[in-house]
Amino acid sequence: NAVSDAVDYLVKIHDMDYERLWNNLNQTDKKIMIALSENEKNILNESFARKYGIRAVSTVFSSIKRLMAHGYVVKKNNSYELDDIFFAVWIVKRRNGLTE
């Protein structure tokens, strides 16, 4: 599939950039990024916080605000998503051990 190959190529050539961005995030921000890369939608509730090992919904909200200020996350239709879809693909591949 040409589209899949193109996505894989773009993720691969930006691997070091994504790694650098990832290493500058704190643990809570990483958890939020992981959740958003897995298409979690309802992230401002207690069950989400428990699922991802975050102590309070207020911590999730603070993290979202920080990630939005840095341009990693955008609000869309009353939910949040990663602004860079290729970064989301990189996160999923990394978590599944599929990066080189």
Residue among 67, 95, 80, 89 nearest 40 (CA): 80
Answer yes or no: are the C-beta atoms of 96 and 62 closer than 8 Å: no
Residue among 56, 47, 48 nearest 80 (CA): 48
pLDDT value, residue 4: 87
pLDDT tens for each residue of 16-46? 999 999 999 999 999 999 999 999 988 999 9
Residue among 84, 88, 80, 91 nearest 43 (CA): 80
The pTM of the full predicted model, rounded to 2 decimals, is: 0.88
Backbone φ and ψ of 32, nearest 5°: -65, -45
Within 8 A by CB and 6+ apart from 100, the residues are 12, 15
pLDDT value, residue 96: 83
The fraction of the chain above a pLDDT of 90, given in percent, is 83
pLDDT tens for each residue of 39-97? 998 899 999 999 999 999 999 999 999 999 999 999 998 899 999 999 999 999 988 87
